[in-house]
Structure 1
Amino acid sequence: MSNHITVTTGIYDAIKDTLRRKKVSLEEEKRLTEELRKAKQVLRRDLPTDTVTVNRKVTLKDHTLDFEHEYIFVPSTKVKLKKNKHSILSDIALAVVGYKVGDIIDWPFREGERKIEIVKVEAWEG
């Protein structure tokens, strides 16, 4: 389990902006603020390929609700839920962004705490 998230400066700034605009619950805000404090910022080309970020296809296992699902995380301007394209600033993306394959995250979603495992991360070219 990573003890810090690894994100690009662009993603870091986007999360800070989301917090500033109060787009998340109080619990999520506390958690994200703490994660950003310890976050490692890297250039996009230096981001490990097994790390969750924008333009990646990510398979997650939800241990709490007992299901596995694949998400494509895209910039907020490219969201198409019918095509499984979710914003990198959506609730599920904010929970796992910056983590890597094998990490298990306990996250305070609005509907309650859930345990999410990152099963697979692949590059995605849309």
Structure 2
Amino acid sequence: MTQEITLTTGIYDLIKDLIRRKKVTLQEEERLIAQLKNAKQVVRASLPLDVVTVDAKVTVKNLINNQEEVYTFVAPARAKRRNNTESIVGSMGLALVGCKTGDVVKWHFGEEEKQFEITNVERIA
């Protein structure tokens, strides 16, 4: 069963464009298409504060090794390793975008499946 996610219209369109231009793996494409079918679209002002989106600092707990990791997601053009920011449409961004605090997310990263629990979402802009 696919998890229901909440996306802004802009992020929804961005993900659709990635799929259309074949910028994701086949496995990611299948998962994203299924998620988009069940996604709730809202305008940015109506997006709940605990939902992963652009300009959000997200803390996740890796349920396989129990380690906490923090990601700061930004628009693709603003993502820079030296600033410790990640594109919302990078592998981790696509795995978490639209999910909310408390959600458990399973996602394939290459050949490896990882499982995360979102423990905190904080807007940075």
The yes-or-no answer on 1:19 pairing with 2:19 is: yes
Match of 1:72 in 2: 72
Are 1:74 and 1:86, in contact at CA under 8 Å, matched by a contact in 2? yes
- Write the letter of the residue equivalent to 2:34: E
Shift of 1:65: 4.3
Match of 1:115 in 2: 115
Mean Cα deviation higher: 34-43 or 80-89: 80-89
- Find the aligned partners of 2:122 and 2:105 in 1 and give their Cα distance: 19
Shift of 1:79: 0.8
- Find the aligned partners of 2:82 and 2:118 in 1 and give their Cα distance: 22
Gaps of 5+ in 2: none
Q: What's the C-alpha RMSD, in Å, of the aligned pairs?
A: 1.4
- Find the aligned partners of 1:56 and 1:37 in 2 and give their Cα distance: 24
Shift of 1:67: 2.1
Runs of 4+ that moved beyond 4 A: none
Gaps of 5+ in 1: none
- Find the aligned partners of 2:65 and 2:23 in 1 and give their Cα distance: 24
Are 2:101 and 2:118, in contact at CA under 8 Å, matched by a contact in 1? yes
Shift of 1:8: 0.3
Residue 51 of structure 1 aligns to a residue in which SS? coil
Are 2:3 and 2:35, in contact at CA under 8 Å, matched by a contact in 1? no
- Write the letter of the residue equivalent to 1:68: E
Q: Percent identity?
A: 48
- Write the letter of the residue equivalent to 2:93: A
TM-score after normalising by structure 2: 0.93
